[in-house]
Structure 1
Amino acid sequence: MPSHARIGNQYLTVDVSSLGAEMQSLATSDGRSWLWNGDAAFWSGRSPVLFPIVGKAPEDMVAIDGETYPMGQHGFARRTEFALASADATTCRYELASSPTTRAVYPFDFLLAVEHALEGRALTVAAEVTNRDSRSLPFGLGFHPAFVWPLPGSAGRDHVITLDNQGEPGLVRLEGGLISPAKLASPFTAGRLVLDRSMFEQDAMIFPEGAGKGLSYGVDGGPAMHFRFENLPNLALWQKPGAPFICIEPWHGTAAQKDGSNELAKRPYSLSLPPGETRRFAFTVEIVG
């Protein structure tokens, strides 16, 4: 059975499961909950970490140096037990090292570490990928946190995504779970998007470029969550139709392209990490109001 670590300070309390190193709750000291509760009637996820792919692979198979391996959507890390490497009052770090089980589907020696750390009213979730192999490590890495919609005390009010860079990033959609080649107009106007549930009837909205390094999700004059992204150039927004949550997903890597290569290294925005090197990815969320 998964175990849990709890961290907290005078402002925030966070619970993290050993299964997938996945955050299970994010609450402020006044008792308000900000993270989706994982109701399986809609979606049992809460804040999965996506590795070694983001999104779907054609026929759930990836190719590595010409050999094919089974790989479910968003990779295997989110369904794998991590080991608690360290913990104190405000920080916990879980690690997943390669094993015979992982090497059967992803033939590399790696270490994936996921750390949750509190500082004031902000939580930082960071992932570090270390290549322990003798050859380059191809992978994608993403975060998939779901936050309550409506926000606490904000039922019936417009919820808005506001990009820090005031950009109008281009939109792509999924077709059979894969990235459609069609480039669509941005739904943002001067960095502002008023959320409407009809936007998600065609699955996720994906912005491969131009969303910038930070955004706010909130209600004008009401509660808000401000995000900063580190080494995460892609952004997706997703809601299961009718569900009371919104996923704000920063990624480095996307689903494979429709009619594109199934080589892991050739997926959009995939990384290739040299032997012995470590790469860090993180998002920070600060709760305001």
Structure 2
Amino acid sequence: MPTITRIANEFLTVEISALGAEMQSATTRDGAGWLWNGDAAFWTGRSPVLFPIVGKAPDDTLLIDGKPYPMAQHGFARRREFTLDEATATACRYALEATEETRAAYPFDFRLTVEHSLDGPALTVAANVENRGETPMPFGCGFHPAFRWPLPGAQGKPHSVILDNAAEPQRQPLEKGLLSQGRTASPFEAGRLALAQNLFEDDALVFPEGAGNGLTYGVEDGPALKFHFENLPNLALWTKPGAPFLCVEPWHGTAALYEGSRELRDRPYTTLLAPGARTRFAFTVTFPA
């Protein structure tokens, strides 16, 4: 079994697995669990970290400088065992470095660290990517946390997602798991999206731009989770119809375009990291205190 690291303070207890550096649970001091439990009847994920791509590649194959490489949806990091780099009572850092096996799918010398840290009722999850090679390194990175729907203490109440910027970002539908070439009208009204299962009948709601750096997921005058995003310009919301969870997914990078380029560097919002450079992506979620 993968190693589990537990971090805690007076507000929160969070467990993280070495497999994928993936959060397994988030429990407030009243005993309420807010994270999806990974029930295989719906989806075994809980909070995977997405690297070195977000979303699908055509035929699960990337082109890197014209050469094909196998790459499953959302990349390989979520299926790899990380090494515990450092741990304190309220924070831990897991690391994944390039190996011969990863280079067979992604020919770059990278180091990926994933940090979970607590500050009062807030949890920050950060991914730091370093290019240890001698050539520019293209990649996507994102987060895929799933939270209970309904939230604890909010059974039977209407849930919504409210954007901090009150925007109405256009949606970019998915076609066979890839981003369609066009966009459709926003399902948000003045920054508010009333959640309903039928919204997800055609897969995730993807908003490539305009959703801003923060949102609230929850019920009016009731339990709610507040999110802030750092260097994560793309947003997706997803569930499987009938499943009791909602994924709030901030990304830097998206699936490839349908009938578009198969080159990794041509995917929307791909980061091209210079040799020796590092960059950081993070989200903070604040739980009811």
Alignment TM class, shorter chain as reference: over 0.9
Distance in 2 between the 1:241 and 1:29 partners?
Answer: 30
Q: CA deviation at 1:288?
A: 2.5
Distance in 1 between the 2:77 and 2:267 partners?
Answer: 18
Q: Number of paired residues? A: 289
Structure 2 letter corresponding to 1:276? G
2:25 pairs with 1:34: no
Q: CA deviation at 1:183?
A: 1.0
2:186 pairs with 1:172: no
2:237 pairs with 1:237: yes
3-state SS of 1:124 partner: strand
Q: CA deviation at 1:113?
A: 0.2
Distance in 2 between the 1:5 and 1:288 partners?
Answer: 23
Q: Deviations over 1:45-99 (max 9, x none)?
A: 0000000000000000001111100000000000000000000000000000000
Q: CA deviation at 1:155?
A: 1.1
3-state SS of 2:248 partner: strand
Distance in 2 between the 1:153 and 1:256 partners?
Answer: 39
Specify the alignment match of 1:185 in structure 2.
185
Q: CA deviation at 1:287?
A: 1.0
Specify the alignment match of 1:129 in structure 2.
129
Q: CA deviation at 1:241?
A: 1.3
Specify the alignment match of 2:271 in structure 1.
271
Structure 2 letter corresponding to 1:143? F
Q: Deviations over 1:161-194 (max 9, x none)?
A: 0000000000011110000112100000110111
Distance in 2 between the 1:261 and 1:287 partners?
Answer: 40
Specify the alignment match of 2:14 in structure 1.
14
3-state SS of 1:280 partner: strand
Specify the alignment match of 2:224 in structure 1.
224
After TM superposition, the structure 1 = structure 2 runs for residues 1-289 of structure 1, keeping only pairs within 5 Å, are: 1-288=1-288
Distance in 2 between the 1:181 and 1:167 partners?
Answer: 22
Distance in 1 between the 2:183 and 2:212 partners?
Answer: 18
Distance in 1 between the 2:254 and 2:225 partners?
Answer: 24
Question: Normalised by the size of structure 1, how large is the TM-score?
Answer: 0.99
Structure 2 letter corresponding to 1:19? L
Structure 2 letter corresponding to 1:287? F
Distance in 1 between the 2:80 and 2:288 partners?
Answer: 33
Structure 2 letter corresponding to 1:214? G
Distance in 1 between the 2:173 and 2:249 partners?
Answer: 15
Structure 2 letter corresponding to 1:228? H
Cα RMSD for the two superposed structures: 0.6
Structure 1 letter corresponding to 2:65? D
Question: Normalised by the size of structure 2, how large is the TM-score?
Answer: 0.99
Structure 1 letter corresponding to 2:268? P
Structure 2 letter corresponding to 1:277? A
Distance in 2 between the 1:107 and 1:133 partners?
Answer: 10
Structure 2 letter corresponding to 1:240? K
Distance in 1 between the 2:39 and 2:55 partners?
Answer: 21
Distance in 2 between the 1:19 and 1:261 partners?
Answer: 31
Q: Which ranges in structure 1 are unaligned for 5 or more consecutive residues?
A: none
3-state SS of 1:215 partner: strand
3-state SS of 1:288 partner: coil
Distance in 1 between the 2:103 and 2:42 partners?
Answer: 32
Moved over 2 A (4+): none
Distance in 1 between the 2:218 and 2:153 partners?
Answer: 11
